[in-house]
Structure 1
Amino acid sequence: MYDPDELDRIRSGKSDWENETLSPVLERFGERNDRFATVSNVAVDRLYTPTDIAEIDYLDDIGFPGEEPYTRGVYPTMHRGRTWTMRQFAGFGTAEETNERFHYLIENGQTGLSTAFDMPSLMGKDSDDPLSDGEVGKEGVAVDTLKDMEILFDGIDISDVSTSFTINPSAPVIYAMYIALADQQGVDRSEIRGTLQNDMLKEFIAQKEWVIPPDPSLSLVTDVVEFASSETPNFKPVSISGYHIREAGSTAVQELAFTLANGFAYVEDAIDRGLDVDEFAPQLSFFFNAHNSIFEEVAKYRAARRIYGKVMDEWYDADDPKSKQLKFHTQTAGQSLTAQQPLNNIVRVTIQALAGVLGGTQSLHTNSFDEALALPSEESVRVALRTQQIIADESGAADSIDPLGGSYLIETLTEETEEKAMAYISEIKEMGNGSVRDGVLAGIEEGYFHREIQDASYEYQSRVETGDETVVGVNKYTINEDTSPEILHVDETVQDRQLSRLATVKDERDDADVAAALETLQAAIDTEENVMPALIAAVKAYATMGEIMDMFEAKHGRYRETVTVL
């Protein structure tokens, strides 16, 4: 991209600058730190020049928005055409309370809904299960039956809104309920829009919420992908999530590499099922973290698009451009939020959100400043939403496509991130004897991912404890004051109210219809058919979450993690 003679002049000029201009200042004043590095401990050089990106070919490596290699974005106009979807996470208590929060967010300008579920729902347990006692509605909304889903979206036309569901082991049941709700509302299934997280591989790697073992879990994910490709073409059946991998303590490169490897594993499983890659790949979506090192994060997103486009083309023979376009949701880093001086979190979230925007995200969740203490209050969630709106409407960050593209620093970081991530992906593929899917499954069983993430997490925490990594308000600029804000308290009557509704549903439903629907589901499980049609019929009969998930556990057993010495 640069003339060799010009590069030599730049190298010579830089050497002269270092000797004549920089050196006297360093000798007299030094620099403010001995160590300059990202949150992931990637060293940041003092200065970047064209010599750092001399090997880059603009058209092959950077290109133009909406064209391969998609480094600069998957759409020709990106945020100039429309801003990202502003999708604030919401869910607590009963369906009525979360429905009220949904309406509040929509009234304040939110453009997409995002649903958080309580732990029993996440784990496929009913609210009246003994294991659910004390957890009902505490960290998300309780959903036991289709009745809860009906109340959750009361007064909301789901043909007009895009809805995300952050749930994994029991994700197919929630998906079935949403389809049943669309059928009730008279909304054509092809019109519903949204995203189901449904990413079981990262659960075994990082978040640790599971019911059945990895192999049948993967098969269940593919059931949803297969069904969605024909029935709900505008709904994303899986959101391949690096967010929780990063929250577990990984570096940015590990987050990117392990997430993409999981994505390629899903692609391979669907192809082995007999699906054409261009039939389902356009519906795949991704979910990344946005941490504090703004330039590292932007480089991560740009490298993600480039790797995905190349691999989908070269490894999986994708022809449709949409099959090669990595589209992703971003959430700011919950792990970075501090209980100390929580208002500082507003600044952290703003920086992280800006990284997502500058990196070309398709949708964004901004964490609330009080989330290190409790579920967000109405005030804090409004501030989080306003943060996005100010970035969109006041900052100018969304006015130019890939505004940091061409920066010597950004292009260098993008190249380095791509190279390191591909080294991880290639290692995983080798572990599977040429199959990324088999490599991911082997890595889960052998503790490979756990070791990599644990080592990175330990190194980060060690830097915090020694003061090499600054966390404002925690190990630097501390104060001896109570800075706790007013926080949201979940009403302790939530569990009683939820149990009462569940009991009413069980009393009023047709037991014969439930039994017949569950029998049909059992047959689908036993014969390894796609279970989605039977799941939809079961939830329409008001079979409960627990009744359904217990059937999968009875067939495949409950997963127990292999203990490894780390």
Structure 2
Amino acid sequence: MADEKKQRWLEGTYAKAVKKGPERRPRFETSSGIREEPVYGAADVRPGLDERLGLPGEYPFTRGVQPTMYRGRFWTMRQYAGFGTAEESNKRYRYLLESGQTGLSVAFDLPTQMGRDSDHPRARGEVGKVGVAIDSIRDMEVLFDRIPLGEVSTSMTINATAGMLLAMYQAVGEKQGAAPAVLQGTIQNDILKEYAARGTYIYPPEPSLRIITDIFAYTAKVMPRWNPISISGYHIREAGSTAVQEVAFTLADGIQYVDAAVKAGLDVDAFAGRLSFFFNAHNDLLEEVAKFRAARRLWARIMKERFKAKDPRSMMLRFHTQTAGSMLTAQQPDNNIVRVTLQALAAVLGGTQSLHTNSRDEALGLPTEDSVRIALRTQQIIANESGVADVIDPLGGSWAIEAMTDEIEGRAQEYIRKIDELGGMVHAISKGYVQREIQEAAYAWQRQVEAKDQVVVGVNAFRSDDPPVPVMKVDPALEAQQVERLKALRAARSASAARGALDAVRAGARGTDNLMPLILAAVKAECTLGEISDALREVYGEYRETVVL
């Protein structure tokens, strides 16, 4: 549609219709404040689209990182799960695998995430509540009992203690007869977003980045099929950011990690091909599809132009997606099935490599087995019945999608430029810039909901009194069982071997050798996660949050 033709339509047919019956809103825009035209035409897309698009599997990967995408195989269907003790979670994992799930995704409880054993005073009341409690290699063995680690792909949402959980996973794999080189999966290992948006950090940024780069080097050499990091925009979005901020802050985190690894002496093409990302799938379907495409293209350019990567795999943004937990409502929870379906559809249309679909009752508590089954079936129906997986990048070339993709990319670039001016992501976080931007976006969203400018069905419109739904609860007795198991471990292990292994971790932290072999040795000596974390705390100290008001 030429400019003149569209302008005639706007001033004539469209203007008359609006005058006769005003539109629902005075202005239509996405969550990022991108103005939505009433209709899009070719002139709304910047020149040079063919170059920006490319083709699937080719730079700049706007249309997907694999040449065949879902025509070859579907995305990995992961359902994030973990609660109580290792035994309880193991039952859920085997249930999910039997129901057709194609990859495991492990949720850990807060003490595990914060490097505290289950018998630590600060762990009281939190053991097994938001994920599974893992204190030692013995727990990890139980967690994956009768699950062949050489055959499954496992994602572990763990950050400050990622190296310890990875070492436990490797050790259990070896006990099963699976060599480290065949193990497949991902650790989140993204500490920068913890400082900015989530809070499960332990050590200050500098030693945290050292641990992360050690993991990069270790996995590149020992576990070549393992993704050593999942650079996460999900939690940034859950904290209230816009789609543009999610892309910008996630890729800025990625830049900081790559920069740290290169400065530590790693060749960019030796590790960048195993970097993975983790994004949120929100409610605005068109904006979300455009967001994923923009992120892929922008990262490809960053790696090629900024870091001089030569291997095309180093330029590929491969990502996992989870539907938006912050968009789930406790009111009318069955509505969440519809929300999750639309969000999952956006992720698939945007080209995700793996996907978790939230359950309808997660605004109320841990999901029941029935709810988890519906969430998994949602993915299976999209994959097998909707037809959207049969065409690669089916919305590519849509004037609206391409215009939004360009706009999100441009706005994200501006944020990255500002962060560069501040000295990089660590400095931007320490100055409170990132936190402030997220807080302001979250506040603006809340204002829209309270003013009913943004309708949330069942919350600020279309309300009804529905009967309560069954909610899963973790048995409080499981905490006592976990503590007893921990006492038994300490009583049975070789105290001198554990002590020596922890001394080696402390010495390694003071030196420059890779920490991962030392952590692995401590895990095999049956040192606990809390003990290894404390050994590093003695050397590195603990981070204190920058409060932003």
Q: Provide the C-alpha distance between the structure 1 equivalents of 2:197 and 2:46, rounded to a whole number of angstroms.
A: 38
The 5 A counterparts of 1:131-530 are 131-432=122-423, 439-479=424-464, 481-530=465-514
Matched residue, 1:436: none
Q: Provide the C-alpha distance between the structure 2 equivalents of 1:455 and 1:64, rounded to a whole number of angstroms.
A: 37
Q: Provide the C-alpha distance between the structure 1 equivalents of 2:39 and 2:467, rounded to a whole number of angstroms.
A: 39
Q: CA deviation at 1:18?
A: 2.9
Q: CA deviation at 1:185?
A: 1.1
Q: CA deviation at 1:407?
A: 0.3
Other structure's SS at 2:135 match: coil
Other structure's SS at 1:398 match: helix
Give the TM-score taking structure 2 as reference length.
0.99
Q: Which amino acid aligns with 1:250?
A: S
Any idea what the Cα deviations from partners look like across 1:350-390, whole Å, max 9, x if unmatched? 00000000000000000000000001100000000000000
Q: Provide the C-alpha distance between the structure 2 equivalents of 1:296 and 1:40, rounded to a whole number of angstroms.
A: 9
**Residue range with higher mean Cα deviation, 517-526 or 389-398:** 517-526
Is contact 1:342–1:483 with CA below 8 Å preserved after alignment? no
Q: Provide the C-alpha distance between the structure 2 equivalents of 1:25 and 1:450, rounded to a whole number of angstroms.
A: 43
Other structure's SS at 1:34 match: coil
Give the TM-score taking structure 1 as reference length.
0.96
- Residue correspondences, number: 549
**2:32 equivalent to 1:40:** yes
Q: Which amino acid aligns with 2:258?
A: V
Q: CA deviation at 1:430?
A: 1.7
**2:540 equivalent to 1:556:** yes
Q: Which amino acid aligns with 1:453?
A: I
Matched residue, 2:90: 99
Is contact 1:212–1:558 with CA below 8 Å preserved after alignment? yes
Is contact 1:123–1:170 with CA below 8 Å preserved after alignment? yes
Q: CA deviation at 1:89?
A: 0.3
Q: Provide the C-alpha distance between the structure 2 equivalents of 1:22 and 1:559, rounded to a whole number of angstroms.
A: 57
Any idea what the Cα deviations from partners look like across 1:26-74, whole Å, max 9, x if unmatched? 222222333322233322110100011141330x200100001100001
Match of 2:49 among 51, 57, 71: 57
Q: Provide the C-alpha distance between the structure 2 equivalents of 1:18 and 1:251, rounded to a whole number of angstroms.
A: 29
Matched residue, 2:67: 76
Any idea what the Cα deviations from partners look like across 1:442-483, whole Å, max 9, x if unmatched? 11111011111111111111111111111111111111x134
**Residue range with higher mean Cα deviation, 501-510 or 383-392:** 501-510
Match of 2:530 among 526, 539, 546: 546
Q: CA deviation at 1:487?
A: 1.1
**Residue range with higher mean Cα deviation, 109-118 or 491-500:** 491-500
Q: CA deviation at 1:515?
A: 1.3
Change (3 A) 1:15 1:40: closer
Is contact 2:505–2:536 with CA below 8 Å preserved after alignment? no
**2:537 equivalent to 1:537:** no
Is contact 1:256–1:304 with CA below 8 Å preserved after alignment? yes
Is contact 2:77–2:355 with CA below 8 Å preserved after alignment? yes
Q: Which amino acid aligns with 1:339?
A: A
Structure 2, unmatched stretches of 5+, are none
Other structure's SS at 2:389 match: coil
Is contact 2:228–2:275 with CA below 8 Å preserved after alignment? yes
Q: CA deviation at 1:22?
A: 2.3
Matched residue, 1:435: none
Any idea what the Cα deviations from partners look like across 1:158-207, whole Å, max 9, x if unmatched? 11100000011111110110111111111111100000001001000110
Q: CA deviation at 1:393?
A: 0.3
Q: Which amino acid aligns with 1:464?
A: V
Is contact 2:324–2:358 with CA below 8 Å preserved after alignment? yes
Matched residue, 1:13: 5
What's the % identity of the aligned pairs?
54
Q: Which amino acid aligns with 2:203?
A: I
Q: Provide the C-alpha distance between the structure 1 equivalents of 2:500 and 2:8, rounded to a whole number of angstroms.
A: 82
Structure 1, unmatched stretches of 5+, are 1-6, 433-438
Q: Provide the C-alpha distance between the structure 2 equivalents of 1:381 and 1:71, rounded to a whole number of angstroms.
A: 32
Other structure's SS at 1:164 match: strand
Change (3 A) 1:73 1:39: same
Q: Which amino acid aligns with 2:462?
A: Y
Other structure's SS at 1:86 match: strand
Is contact 1:341–1:484 with CA below 8 Å preserved after alignment? no
Is contact 1:340–1:483 with CA below 8 Å preserved after alignment? no
Q: Provide the C-alpha distance between the structure 2 equivalents of 1:302 and 1:97, rounded to a whole number of angstroms.
A: 38
Runs of 4+ in 1 over 3 A off after TM superposition: none
Is contact 2:119–2:483 with CA below 8 Å preserved after alignment? yes
